[in-house]
């Protein structure tokens, strides 16, 4: 886990939903996966356009997932993905083949986020492969009866001082975001709905309404 404040990413391929959030200047980049692309109706042929649109909208980095399952094919796909732009990071699932492909891609200087991470031992493997980071699935771990936040904490401890970041994913609500920040997680990616929820506090709204009323009364 890093000493820096936790970085925020958006987990979406929905440009109209993502662009206003990127325009706030608070989000580092955008993560995608095949399910997210399917939901947004983005065909593989349109990936280059999507990546460019996200960068134009203010994404500092865009994550695109490899879908091949054989090591050689994942490596070839990873090279195609990273060629989509200078700030594109390849996501590779935490399978045996995925780890082997990550090691080869990382050796060539390709940044790889090992994704669909559910256990500390996968964090160890990702670090050994030279991964840019890991994406543990907090919500899905909770769904499966594991303690997602505890797992992420342990992964952070294992990776402390290494080059491999923890980018927590599968976030179900805004409370999980602050719990991750409290345990000094490096980064988190969240849906646009969770991101929008971060901005909401009814006490702030009430205070602002009072300030506005007072300011009006003075004029």
Q: Shortest gap between Cβ of 208 and ligand E4P (angstroms)?
A: 32
The reply to whether 110 sits near ligand E4P by the rule CB under 6 A is no
The shares of helix, strand and coil residues in the chain, as percent rounded to the nearest 5, are 50, 20, 30
Which residue lies nearer to ligand E4P by CB, 193 or 209? 193
Least separation in angstroms between CB 51 and ligand E4P: 16
Distance in angstroms (rounded) separating the CA atoms of residues 105 and 113? 11
Q: Taking a C-beta distance cutoff of 8 angstroms, is the pair 135, 31 a contact?
A: yes
**Which of 62, 77, 91, 137 is labelled catalytic?**
91
Angle between helices 71-82 and 96-107 (to 10 degrees): 50
Tokens of 218: 């003075």
Which two three-digit tokens encode residue 161?
């001082």
Q: Give the residue, chosen from 6, 7, 10, 11, that forms a contact with ligand E4P under the rule CB under 6 A.
A: 11
Q: Does 61 help bind ligand E4P (rule: CB under 6 A)?
A: no
Nearer Cβ to ligand E4P, position 162 or 173? Answer: 173
Per CB under 6 A, the list member of 115, 151, 164, 192 interacting with ligand E4P is 115
Q: Which of 22, 29, 33, 102 binds ligand E4P (CB under 6 A)?
A: 33
Written as one string, the DSSP assignment of 2-26 is -SSPPEEEEE---HHHHHHHHHTT-
CA distances from 81 to 34, 135, 188 (A): 13, 18, 22
Secondary structure element (H or E) that encloses residue 31, with its range: strand 29-31
Contact 115, 94 (CB under 8 A): yes
Site stretch for ligand E4P (CB under 6 A), options 30-38, 48-56, 69-77, 119-127: 30-38
Mask for 170-189, x = binds ligand E4P (CB under 6 A): x------------------x
Is 7 an annotated catalytic residue? no
50/135 with CB nearer ligand E4P: 135
- Beta strand 112-117 with 61-65 is unpaired
CB of 34 to ligand E4P, least distance (A): 9
Does position 139 bind ligand E4P by CB under 6 A?
yes
List of E strands, the chain: 7-11, 29-31, 61-65, 88-93, 112-117, 133-136, 165-168, 187-190
Smaller CB distance to ligand E4P: residue 147 or 205? 147
What positions carry a catalytic annotation?
91
Which parts of this chain interact with ligand E4P (CB under 6 A)? 11, 31, 33, 35, 115, 135, 137, 139-140, 169-170, 189
């Amino acid at each position: 886990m890093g000493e820096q404040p936790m970085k925020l990413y958006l987990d979406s391929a929905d440009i109209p939903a993502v662009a206003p959030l990127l325009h706030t200047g608070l989000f580092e980049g955008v993560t995608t996966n095949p399910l997210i692309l399917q939901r947004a109706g983005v065909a593989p042929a349109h990936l280059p356009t999507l990546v460019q649109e996200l960068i134009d909208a203010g994404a500092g980095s865009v994550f695109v997932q490899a879908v091949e399952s054989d090591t050689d094919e994942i490596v070839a796909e990873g090279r195609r993905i990273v060629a989509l732009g200078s700030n594109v990071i390849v996501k590779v699932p935490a399978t045996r083949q995925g780890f082997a492909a990550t090691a080869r891609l990382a050796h060539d200087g390709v940044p790889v986020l090992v994704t669909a991470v559910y256990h500390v031992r996968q964090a160890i493997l990702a670090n050994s492969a030279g991964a840019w980071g890991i994406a543990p699935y907090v919500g899905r771990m909770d769904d499966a009866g594991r303690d997602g936040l505890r797992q992420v904490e342990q992964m952070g401890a294992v990776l402390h001082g290494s080059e491999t970041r923890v980018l927590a994913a599968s976030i179900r609500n805004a409370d999980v975001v602050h719990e991750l920040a409290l345990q000094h997680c490096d980064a988190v990616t969240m849906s646009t709905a969770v991101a929008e929820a971060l901005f909401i506090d009814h006490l702030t709204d009430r205070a602002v309404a009072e300030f506005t009323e007072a300011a009006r009364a003075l004029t």
